Structure 1
């Protein structure tokens, strides 16, 4: 079954396989909803559908894609938080899941208590990208330009609290420079405006390596702690002059609170198996990322660490909203 045809309309039927049995009876005996906090076509959506396809094949039940974009994942988060923890509602989340409790003073859910982390799925280094007209070929030159330019240097993001916003705010904080944040409704519009020259900088996963090799954007460095095998020629931001800088985009599976331990273990195990499939590995490889499946406990600790790491950045950058 091709990924492009998976979950069209209301869902996709799976191939025959034994159902999972847990303490309270046969599971699953009906369709599972995969809530996706962003619009179709992005990395979160593609990973959710690929993981869902694997689960549908193994569990012989449809896994239905339910895209609920809005408020950096808050709209989808509320749906998941108010669902029963019976394994029939899952969600592929991104960095905003960990950071939203820092940004929004009033959330319709508790960011810790109302969710059950299942497994990390993948991490992606982001690239420091500039429009070709920006007179900076290195991180050091970008920092110097930001400090000397009479016109404020702008950096784009897919929205308040997005991975691009956090990466940019962390960069300005650690590099000791000021750049003006320009928020868009999604990473794709932001990237298009970068290519059009309407903004100067963006720290993100480019939609395609061709955008760089064709000269539509110029890459200065990778945001991860180590160099990317996909862009081996690029230094890390740390190597390029901002010591200890690190910011990666990540994606993982969560469910509502109250999931029974044995059911959670089964879903986590199948998520890890899904992450090892060619469908998921292909999505990750195409964007220079790494498969990073984990246990529920490891993913819980990862989310906590991310929230702690960005707490001061969110506060100092004034990201908090009512």
Structure 2
């Protein structure tokens, strides 16, 4: 009996040994993180707003981490392709994903069969948000948000967007719902064509970020009449918010953050969170973000999680009511 007991004890020790060794290696890898470059999946093409935003912070964050953040642009399907790639990556901290407002808070309601879900990710940090501005064609003859609303209550006006379900599409849907304006959505394939349409007089209005709108102040074809944030933009301080111009409670922003696959070790998430927070506090990075019109957020991972939940609760009913579907 004693011999059998000893043998059973030896057997259990032999079986457990590989798992103990594996756990120790895993702990060591976590403590040494990162010891190789980190892949940052950006679900949008090079040169777009998401790509430019990521590149504003990635170099300094990489310096803080001691390893480079290598941006991997995986555009397509309104951000769904790259996001799905990020969702299925190894949860070891060497693949992080750029989380974007439209992808996380709007796409789940627009696309009925996504091949990823929010629970596939753990939030790392809420990076920034940026408001939109309401651009109108000067041929309309309106100079304020109030005048625009009054005109849109007497006849139908058109506005362009970068596509169905985009944030500048939803900004118009919410505006019409809150004001009673009669706005017809005219979708285009991207922000460039949407801007070309309003410049060419094919549409009457467009919701677009301040850095794109600002140069139009020098021209004669377009006029900026409002900002969609709760406070004025530092890029266009002379332009009133739509809320203060007569639509109380109206607020729309494009926002972003960083996520890792679900199951990533907490120490790795904390390490990434610290690096991005410190990166955005860097004088040069901070200045570039502010000059581009971004409002810097930061904070702990849970803050980003709460923000995503609140935005989903906001946009879900609006998408369903408007019956928005992809092209």
Which TM-score band (shorter chain)?
Answer: 0.7 to 0.9
TM superposition shift of 1:232? 2.2
**Count of residues in correspondence between the two structures:** 299
Q: CA 1:319–1:94 in structure 2 vs 1: closer, same or farther (change >3 Å)?
A: same
After superposition, the C-alpha distances for 1:133-155 in whole angstroms (9 at most, x for unaligned) are: 12221111111211212xx3111
Q: CA RMSD in A?
A: 1.9
Of the three residues 190, 193, 212, the one matched with 2:194 is: 190
Of the three residues 261, 265, 283, the one matched with 1:260 is: 265
Query: Which residue pairs with 1:16 in the alignment?
Result: none
Aligned residues of 1:173 and 1:313 also touching (Cα < 8 A): no
How far, CA to CA, are the matches of 1:116 and 1:288 in structure 2? 27
Give the secondary structure class of the aligned counterpart of 2:319: helix
2:47 pairs with 1:41: yes
Query: Which residue pairs with 1:61 in the alignment?
Result: 67
Query: Which residue pairs with 1:240 in the alignment?
Result: 245
Of the three residues 92, 105, 109, the one matched with 1:98 is: 105
After superposition, the C-alpha distances for 1:163-206 in whole angstroms (9 at most, x for unaligned) are: 11111111111111221112222222212222222211111204
TM superposition shift of 1:122? 1.1
TM-score calculated relative to the size of structure 1: 0.87
TM-score calculated relative to the size of structure 2: 0.86
Give the secondary structure class of the aligned counterpart of 1:209: helix
TM superposition shift of 1:43? 2.4
Query: Which residue pairs with 1:176 in the alignment?
Result: 180
How far, CA to CA, are the matches of 2:56 and 2:234 in structure 1? 23
Of the three residues 89, 112, 135, the one matched with 1:83 is: 89
Query: Which residue pairs with 1:249 in the alignment?
Result: 254
Query: Which residue pairs with 1:13 in the alignment?
Result: none
Q: CA 1:44–1:280 in structure 2 vs 1: closer, same or farther (change >3 Å)?
A: farther
Aligned residues of 1:95 and 1:162 also touching (Cα < 8 A): no
2:171 pairs with 1:164: no
How far, CA to CA, are the matches of 1:221 and 1:90 in structure 2? 35
Aligned residues of 2:30 and 2:267 also touching (Cα < 8 A): no
Give the secondary structure class of the aligned counterpart of 1:244: coil
Query: Which residue pairs with 1:311 in the alignment?
Result: 316
Of the three residues 117, 141, 144, the one matched with 1:138 is: 144
TM superposition shift of 1:266? 0.8
Q: CA 1:306–1:314 in structure 2 vs 1: closer, same or farther (change >3 Å)?
A: same
Name structure 2 gaps, 5 residues minimum. 1-26
Q: CA 1:286–1:195 in structure 2 vs 1: closer, same or farther (change >3 Å)?
A: farther
TM superposition shift of 1:316? 1.7
Equivalent residue runs for 1:89-128 within 5 Å: 89-96=95-102, 97-110=104-117, 112-128=118-134
Query: Which residue pairs with 1:9 in the alignment?
Result: none
- Bigger radius of gyration among the two: 2
Q: Which has the higher helix share?
A: 2
How far, CA to CA, are the matches of 1:276 and 1:119 in structure 2? 14
Of the three residues 219, 224, 227, the one matched with 2:224 is: 219
